[in-house]
Amino acid sequence: MGYVRFAVRWNDKDSGRGQGLFQAAWSCREAGQMTLDQEKFHDDLRTWFSKNLAAPDRFDKNRNRRGPGQGLSWFKDSAQGHISKMREFAELLRSIDVVVDELTTERPGKILFEDEFQIVAKPFQDSGI
């Protein structure tokens, strides 16, 4: 099975890796970088995800710990509907000049959380992720 992750090129303070699109888009929206139409599109995408994707309940082996080394969220490559919606998020960010990378791997790391569509995995040290 393969996994897909979308990230911008600035580091997330919790994971120390490229920040995911949900946080990045929210930061851009709050900073006033989006037009009203882009804000509505952002909000519609967030609503879709809130109805169609569970929020992971853990990002580290210690449930209450947050900080560098925390797990990263990945979509299972079988979650094509979710990946398609994330590509819409990516295009929204690209439209305001944010660089977005679509990463793929078969070795996301040690899995800390899993459901039908996604995983949270702490990257292996040799993964380069």
Query: Domain count of the chain?
Result: 1
Length of the chain: 129
Q: Give the pTM.
A: 0.88
| Domain carrying residue 105 | 3-122
Q: What pLDDT is attached to residue 13?
A: 79
127 inside domain? no
Q: What pLDDT is attached to residue 27?
A: 95
129 inside domain? no
What is the distance between the alpha carbons of residues 112 and 71, in angstroms, rounded to a whole number?
A: 7
Question: Facing residues of 105 across strands?
Answer: 3
Q: For every one of its 129 residues, what pLDDT tens digit does the chain have, with 9 covering 90 and above? A: 899 999 999 888 777 788 999 999 999 999 999 999 999 999 999 999 999 999 887 676 555 444 455 889 999 999 999 999 999 999 999 999 999 999 999 999 999 999 999 999 998 877 666
CA distance to 8, 29, 114, per residue, from 57 (Å): 23, 25, 10
